[in-house]
Amino acid sequence: MTPPPPPPPADEASLIAAARAGDRRALDRLLRDHQPRIHAVCRRITGNDADALDATQDALIAVVRGLPRFDGRSRFSTWVYRIATNSCLDELRRRRRRPVVGLPEHDGVPIALPDHRGSPVADRVVDGLAVDAALAALPEDFRAAVVLRDICELDYAEIAEVLEIPAGTVRSRIARGRAQLASQLAGNQTDVRERPTSTS
Amino acid sequence: MTDPRPPLTDDELSGALDGETAPDVSARLAQDPAAQQRSAELRAVGDTLRSHPVAPLDPTTVDQLVSRALAEADVEPGSEPETGSEPATGQPGGPSPVVTPLAPARARRSAPPWLVAAAVVVLVAVGLGLVWSGQRDDRDQASDTAALAVDEDAGSGGGSDGSDQESATSEDEVSAGRGDDAPAAESDEAPVTGEAPPLTDGLRSLGDFPDEAALRSALASTVPTGRSTTSAEVPASDEVARCDTQVRHVFDLPDPPTATVLATIADEEVLVFGYERASFEDASTPTTFVTVVDPATCTPRLSFERDPG
């Protein structure tokens, strides 16, 4: 067996340099290191697993393609978030262009969900669905800003860089997004059976 | 005395939560119970989002995502769109995707020039073989069969002209190269053209798996023995060699595969390669890198490093 090549460097700056120089193992490591964050952003912005997966794939490919042009002026993670956010917004744009076809037998008919209230797992699933629904109800601009702040924990300057908007606009979008989410999630605290349905 | 200033806005309260507001806002907040109530509501939003983290992807999916992205590293410079430096919105002339969908991206992928040259040589060789074979059939199939019978009876002593020998050799090459054309009995014969035995020699099949995860699970600790393949299942040796070459190039693998088997995922044929190599994580630890590719495009569908333990 051929002697093993040297391991990829441990620190990110060296890893980026090695990846840019063509070291596949360094590139592999970079992608694997950042994939969880990319997927988390994409899952929260797109709102569903399938679109999140597509957007994550697009973002990883964009990272590979764009790495030679990464100039180091911003943090690598900020650059990755920027790519991920753009991939998500593109995915949402593509989704809007796709025709939505419902299952014929369920079109317009409310689907009765089993009542599992009281089960911790079920409660958590319901809460998770409520978070998805509340985020989905936000305008995309607000959603991206809130996700980058509250999930990715970027500061306003970084979010401004990712979204290419002024910091004041970032503050406004986060505030308005949080206000809408607070309203949505507060409404969700009521008994499930008391909530209005689409047919009522 | 009441504060003459207007109440704190959501902008100010939200900014205060993030430490991104003027100091006097914090002082006003401390004296305003209504603002404190609103601030708590806004804080609860962030707490709720953080308390429902996104579930991580399973390892198989991560392997697939990374493999496909790594495969894109071979795209020729200049053919890819700008990424990461342009906003996704507000571009003139309508939306312009920062990144392209997977299918078009794969369609644009181009193989390295040497690979294209090798493929052309193989195609020409196969084409010539088929042409010669067709010419022979056109001449007289019955007399050809008779001549072949004479050849078999007389051994190499004569009875056939040079063109017949050439045709037979070409057919052998084609048969060795394209197992799907060869009778089962002939698939075990040594190839005429290759210096090294083709990767399709003794290729076995692991059978059908419902999805990549199931195949990964089967390959987790070892490459199963599998069953013998029929000649119809075996892809052309040049396809296997091409995919091996491409995989080794993409993943920077120095040595040829130690295991090559077939499998199907939801009835789609795939090639499975196993390469002994140093671990990506720890170069001092030998392990096996397993990759599963589509034999037609050599696109990795699944790649993972077997746990050295």
Contact: A93, B73; criterion CB under 8 Å: no
The HSE-up count of residue B246 (CA atoms within 13 Å, CB side) is 34
Averaged in consecutive runs of 10 residues, what is the pLDDT profile of chain B (309 residues)?
75 90 84 90 89 90 92 62 40 34 39 69 76 57 42 40 39 35 35 45 81 86 72 73 83 84 87 84 81 84 77
- The owner of tokens 């294209």 is B116
Whether the predicted pLDDT of A101 surpasses 80? no
**Contact B285/B108 with Cβ under 8 angstroms?**
no
Q: What is the pLDDT of residue A45?
A: 94
Rounded Cα gap, residues B207 and B284, in angstroms: 34
Contact: A65, B276; criterion CB under 8 Å: no
Number of neighbours of residue B245 by Cβ within 10 angstroms: 17
pTM of the model: 0.55
Rounded Cα gap, residues B67 and B246, in angstroms: 12
Contact: A24, B42; criterion CB under 8 Å: no
- Output B211 or A85, whichever has higher pLDDT: A85
For A57, the closest of B20, B65, B252 (CB atoms) is B65
pLDDT, one tens digit per residue, over A118-169 is 555 555 555 667 788 889 999 999 999 999 999 999 999 999 999 999 999 9
Q: What does the DSSP assignment read for B118-165?
A: HHHHHHHHHHHHHHHHHHHHHHHHHHHHHHHHHHHHHTTSSSS-HHHH
Q: What is the pLDDT of residue B183?
A: 33
What is the pLDDT confidence band of residue A59, given thresholds at 50, 70 and 90? very high
Whether the predicted pLDDT of A86 surpasses 50? yes
Rounded Cα gap, residues B306 and B97, in angstroms: 36
User: In the 8-state DSSP scheme, what is residue B299?
Assistant: -
Nearest of B210, B197, B191 to residue B270 by alpha carbon:
B210
Q: What is the pLDDT of residue A31?
A: 95
CB pairs under 8 A between A and B: 199
| Contact with chain B for residue A136, Cβ under 8 A | no
What is the pLDDT confidence band of residue A171, given thresholds at 50, 70 and 90? very high
Q: What is the pLDDT of residue A6?
A: 55
- Output A188 or A12, whichever has higher pLDDT: A12
pLDDT, one tens digit per residue, over A32-46 is 999 999 999 999 999
Q: What is the pLDDT of residue A155?
A: 93
Q: What is the pLDDT of residue B280?
A: 72
For B278, the closest of A5, A56, A87 (CB atoms) is A5
Q: Which of A61, A79, A138 to mutate to test the interface with B (most CBs of B within 10 A)?
A: A61
Q: What is the pLDDT of residue B186?
A: 35
| Contact with chain B for residue A150, Cβ under 8 A | yes
Q: What is the pLDDT of residue B309?
A: 58
